[in-house]
Structure 1
Amino acid sequence: MAEEWTLVLVKPDGVKNRHVGEVITRIERKGYQIIDLKMIESTENKLRQHYADKVNEPYFAGLMSYMTEGPIVGIIVAGTNVVKAIHRMAGATNPVEAAWGTIRGDFGREWPDGNLRNVVHTSDNPANAKREIEIWFPERTVVDQ
């Protein structure tokens, strides 16, 4: 199996609550390689590209508000079958449903404003990983996976 690249975004709540180091530690403990890492201010344009399939959903305005609450940290991670592994490491999208031991299960939670603050985004398949990396790391060339 060939090496893949995937994207991890530590969302504003993860940055604010100082979980960036723990996310990086979990990635490195699994033996995956961090290819690139940067602090990013999300913009409406980037978020509309990234969440193109959700733009017309009723919850998109809340998602946009959440993702612009503060900086995010973008991480490109490489390894064999890394997309699937990192996605599982993140846990279920809803932190209440995420298993203990996953990033979202350990650090995410629901809040009274109704926004799911779930600490991280991870690519769910190799095609999305390539597309998402090109949005957040336009200076990087991703080899077809």
Structure 2
Amino acid sequence: MVKDEYTLVLVKPDGVKTRHIGEIITRIERKGYKIEALKMIQPTEELLRQHYADKVDKPFFPELLEYMTEGPIVGIVVSGTNVIKAIHNMAGATNPVEAEWGTIRGDYGREWPDGNLRNIVHTSDEPSSATKEIKIWFPEFEFTQG
């Protein structure tokens, strides 16, 4: 029997600014997944360094940090069977120009003249990263076996 799992969705500053929070939540709920936790967060450099620990030494990290601190984000913990893969697929390709229509990034993302990659959402890509990321953004969240 496959058990439910948890994943993290972050509606990034561009997704909040362009008012796509409700549409993203609606897509998640229409697929039958459960919203376990939801909050608006002003990301700090400390939280972003934890979240993007594997990218801190990359040359693009300062731009990523600038982008992710442009405004608030909305953090969402979602649960369901195979939810990590499903939500990751629902988000679409990282680059919005390459994302398929019908995905969140394909429908709402785009390139901007400043060169920063603004792609609306972050989604966890595997169980270990989902657990780690949920603990960063939702330290108060209690995982239950379901």
The TM-score normalised by the length of structure 1 is 0.98
Q: Distance in 2 between matches of 1:110 and 1:116?
A: 7
1:61: which partner in 2? 62
2:80: which partner in 1? 79
Indicate conservation of the 8 Å contact 1:130/1:144, yes or no.
no
2:105: which partner in 1? 104
Gaps of 5+ in 1: none
Give CA deviations for 1:69-124 in whole Å, capped at 9, x if unaligned: 00000000000000000000000000000000000000001111111110000000
1:120: which partner in 2? 121
Gaps of 5+ in 2: none
Amino acid at match of 1:70: G
Amino acid at match of 2:66: S
Amino acid at match of 2:82: N
Amino acid at match of 2:27: R
2:5: which partner in 1? 4
2:24: which partner in 1? 23
Amino acid at match of 1:125: E
Q: How big is the shift at 1:62?
A: 0.3
Q: Distance in 2 between matches of 1:8 and 1:32?
A: 12
Q: How big is the shift at 1:143?
A: 5.3
Q: Identical aligned pairs, as a percentage?
A: 72
List structure 1 runs of 4+ shifted beyond 4 angstroms: none
> Kindly tell me: are residues 61 and 142 of structure 1, through their superposed partners in 2, closer, same or farther at Cα, counting changes over 3 Å?
same
Q: Distance in 2 between matches of 1:143 and 1:35?
A: 11
1:43: which partner in 2? 44
2:71: which partner in 1? 70
Q: Distance in 1 between matches of 2:134 and 2:119?
A: 20
Q: Distance in 1 between matches of 2:32 and 2:143?
A: 21
Counting matched residue pairs gives 145
State the SS of the aligned residue for 1:61.
Answer: helix
State the SS of the aligned residue for 1:110.
Answer: coil
Q: How big is the shift at 1:23?
A: 0.2
Q: Distance in 2 between matches of 1:76 and 1:141?
A: 11
The TM-score normalised by the length of structure 2 is 0.97
> Kindly tell me: are residues 9 and 25 of structure 1, through their superposed partners in 2, closer, same or farther at Cα, counting changes over 3 Å?
same
